[in-house]
Structure 1
Amino acid sequence: MTDYARTGSQADDLLSPGTHAIDLLGVRQAYIVAGQGPLCVVHSGGPGIGWSYLRMPALERHFTMLYLEPIGTGDSGHLASHPEGYSVARYSAQLGALFDALDLRDALLLGHSHGGFVAQHYALRQPERLKGIIVYASAAVTGGAFIASAGQNVVAFAARHAGDALAEDVLAAWQNLATMQSDADYLHVLQRLLPVYFADFRRPDLHFEAIRNALTATLLIGDGAPFDVTPDLPGLGVPALVLAGEQDFICGPAHNEIIASLVPDARLLRFQDAGHFIHLEQADAFNAAVLGFGLGIGARRDA
Structure 2
Amino acid sequence: MSSTTSRSLARGRHEVSIEGTRQVFHIAGTGPVCLVHSGGPGIAWEYLRMPALEEHLTMVYLEPIGTGSSGRLDDRSDYRIDTYARFVHGVVEHLGAPTVFLLGHSHGGFVVQRYALDHPDRVAGAILYSTSPVTGEEFWADAMANIGRFPQRLPHRPAAREIPDAFQRALAAQDDEAYTTSLREILPAYFADYWAHEQDLAPLRAALNAWIDPMHGEEPAPFDVRDQLRSLDVPTLIISGVHDFFGGTRWARVAHEGITGSRLTVLENSGHMGHLEQPQEFTRAIIEFVRP
2:227 matches 1:228: no
Aligned mate of 2:79, from 69, 83, 86: 86
Shift of 1:87: 0.7
CA distance in 1, matches of 2:14, 2:93: 16
Q: How far, CA to CA, are the matches of 1:47 and 1:251 in structure 2?
A: 18
The yes-or-no answer on 1:155 pairing with 2:137 is: no
Q: Among 138, 141, 146, which residue is 1:145 paired with?
A: 138
Counterpart of 2:248? Answer: 252
1:286 aligned residue (277, 282, 288):
282
User: SS in structure 2 opposite 1:265?
Assistant: coil
Contact in 2 for aligned 1:14/1:102 (Cα 8 Å): yes
Query: Partner of 1:197 in structure 2?
Result: 190
Could you tell me which residue of structure 2 aligns to residue 3 of structure 1? none
Paired with 1:251 and 1:187, the residues of 2 have a C-alpha distance of 23
The 5-angstrom pairing of residues 51-200 of structure 1 reads 51-82=45-76, 84-162=77-155, 164-200=157-193
| Structure 2 CA distance for aligned equivalents of residues 277 and 42 of structure 1 | 15
SS in 1 for 2:194: coil
| Aligned residue in 2 for 1:8 | none
CA distance in 1, matches of 2:243, 2:278: 12
Report how far residue 204 of structure 1 moved. 3.7
Residue 3 of structure 2 corresponds to which residue in structure 1? none
**Within the alignment, does 1:28 sit opposite 2:22 as a pair?**
yes
Q: CA deviation at 1:205?
A: 6.7
Q: Tell whether 2:223 aligns with 1:242.
A: no
Distance 2:99 2:86 in 1: 18
Following superposition, the deviation at residue 173 of structure 1 comes to: 1.5
Partner of 1:13: 7
Measured after TM superposition, the shift of residue 185 of structure 1 is 1.4
Whether 1:214 and 2:210 are equivalent positions in the alignment is no
Question: Quick one: which amino acid aligns to residue 287 of structure 1?
Answer: T
1:43 to 15, 37, 45: 37
5+ residue gaps in structure 1? 1-11, 299-303
Gaps of 5+ in 2: 1-5
Task: Provide the aligned length of Structure 1 versus Structure 2.
Answer: 284
Q: Percent identity?
A: 40
Deviations 1:18-55 (A, max 9, x none): 10001011110000000111111111111000000000
Q: Matched residues in 1 for 2:187 and 2:173: separation?
A: 16
Shift of 1:144: 1.0
The corresponding residue for 1:5 is none
Q: CA deviation at 1:178?
A: 3.6
Q: Deviations over 1:54-99 (max 9, x none)?
A: 00001111111111110011111000124x4211111011111221
What is the alpha-carbon distance in structure 2 between the residues aligned to residue 283 and residue 115 of structure 1?
Answer: 19
CA distance in 2, matches of 1:293, 1:62: 12
- Mapped contact 1:198–1:247 kept (Cα < 8 A): yes
1:106 deviates by 2.3
